[in-house]
Amino acid sequence: MNSLLELINFGQSYWLDNLSRDIIKNGKLRQKVKEQGLRGVTSNPSIFNKAITNSSEYDEQIKTLSKDGKSVSEIYEHLVVKDVQDACDILQSVYEDSDGADGFVSLEVSPYLARHTKQTMVEARRLFQAVNRPNCLIKIPGTIEGIPAIEQMLYEGVNVNITLLFSIERYEAVAEAYIRALERRLNEGRDIEKIASVASFFVSRIDTLVDQLLGHRMIPGEDPSNFEIPSQLLGKIAVASGKIAYQSFKKIFNGKRWQKLLENNAHVQRLLWASTSTKNPEYKDVIYVEPFIGPNTVNTMPEDTISAFADHGKIIENSVEANLDEAYRNLQLLEKVGIALTRVTQQLEDEGIQKFIDPFAALMKNLADKHLLGIPV
């Protein structure tokens, strides 16, 4: 059996980290859902920049919106809301069959709002209302400024995909925010069974930066045994961080507080593995898929990673809990060689925000050009 189709038997859903009008209109997205076990879709500013810039499928709508006097930001919002609505409709059957546990499509607030709590809440409410689908997740960065917005939106009934999580401590903070939001609703006698959230822990980028810093502690051409610790940690810290984050997940969602919520039909906030494509060509192309299989998890993958895992990926039951001693030891060794993981994850968060701002700004410019030129065809 295709490894992708088997994942659900081991407690994991796989989602597609890509969304475009092309795959909606040509039937590829529906095919993936119906025949290949796809259970969700994620998007971000970079994905929409590529989708809208590289396709003519949006031109007619842009032209109409331009004639209606819409601003560039309004045009963008109309375009992405339409795609998310259509994708939600395709995944509606998955949402219903899973009793609201799966079948979601994510739409991100502006990356410019990552450090602004109130503005994030305003935009999250507007986007969620605009999409008007129960299986829509609004992506909010798990920054310090994002945490109160995340809690408030969940309390108000907005489904949230918490993005840009790199540290175990920040993951724990957003998981607690989810529980607080549900508790607030329950204490007021409000329904909690339809509130949904995932916490997106980014993995490959951790290794990209940490490997670079480990390289600063090694001398090319010299005997690798002279740098035993740095060399043995290459490509190991992302997996270690994810595995330990999963241990935090198990602890948070097994206590007395969670049990009370569970008795009132709450959905668990699943850990979602994001940034799972392999950045280093020397590493296995499924290095961020195979070690993270376990109950109540999601892996969102780009097309290439999905194809690689379908072709030769191996499923090991509950691999996310394998070799935990090694995971803890590797993080201790990282500190021993002088690399503070807290500083690494803060840098990754800052860089992550910028990595979304850049394509978002480029997309706004491209839309402005099309808007002014009346869509060159």
Active site residues: 139
Report d(CA 64, CA 37) in Å as an integer.
Answer: 36
DSSP state of 109: P
DSSP state of 270: E
**Helix intervals (H) in the chain:** 3-6, 21-25, 28-35, 45-53, 59-67, 72-90, 92-97, 117-131, 146-156, 168-187, 204-215, 228-233, 237-252, 256-263, 303-312, 324-336, 341-373
Terminal C-alpha separation, the chain: 45
CA dist list (Å): 369 to 59, 87, 254, 361: 12, 27, 52, 12
DSSP state of 302: -
Is-contact 226 199, C-beta < 8 A? Answer: no
Joined tokens for residue 327: 């995971």
Report d(CA 36, CA 319) in Å as an integer.
Answer: 22
The β-bridge relationship of strands 12-16 and 160-165 is unpaired
For 34-72, the DSSP string reads: HHS---EE---HHHHHHHHHT-STTHHHHHHHHHTT--H
Is-contact 119 88, C-beta < 8 A? Answer: no
Count Cα atoms within 13 angstroms, Cβ side, for 89.
Answer: 11
